[in-house]
Amino acid sequence: MRYRHNYRKGLMRKRIGRPRLARFVRFNPRVNYFKPQGMPLQGLEVVELTEEEVEAIRLKNIKGLDQVECAKLMRTSQSTFQRILASAYKKISQALISGKAIRILKK
């Protein structure tokens, strides 16, 4: 069972809603860290991208597919694909603008 912490009341509550489904990810990156050149990794903040987010970026930007095709390939809805893609864009933008490292999380 998953629980969510309610910080205002200091209580743990059972997570409400459907369990998260596994997405279909075909890409396995060989590199799992990117960082600004000339900066030691120890002193940098890290932005973490999930495999789903990297796959969404790959399908949309590298393969040039539209969102409907991308969602079908990842076996998810178009609206869920859009949320995954928006999350990836936000994290990558934060890393580029703020000089943070990017780490790709593997399951």
Query: Is the four-CA dihedral 29, 34, 40, 46 of positive or negative sign?
Result: negative
The first and second tokens of residue 68, run together, are 């409907």
Asked if residue 8 is part of any domain, the answer here is no
Does residue 40 lie within any of the structural domains?
Answer: yes
CA torsion angle 19 25 31 35 (round to 10): -60
Q: Give the number of other CB atoms < 10 A from CB of residue 57.
A: 19
Distance between CA 91 and CA 56 in Å, rounded?
A: 13
pLDDT at residue 89 in the model: 97
Q: What is the pLDDT of residue 22?
A: 59
* pLDDT tens series, the chain, 107 aa: 455 555 555 555 565 666 655 565 666 677 788 888 888 888 899 999 998 999 999 999 999 999 999 999 999 999 999 999 999 999 999 999 999 999 998 87
Q: 9 lies in a domain?
A: no
Quote the number of domains for the chain: 1
For position 41, what pLDDT does the model report?
A: 83
Per-residue pLDDT at 12 = 56
CATH of the domain at 61: 1.10.10
Q: Which domain, by its residues, includes 79?
A: 21-104
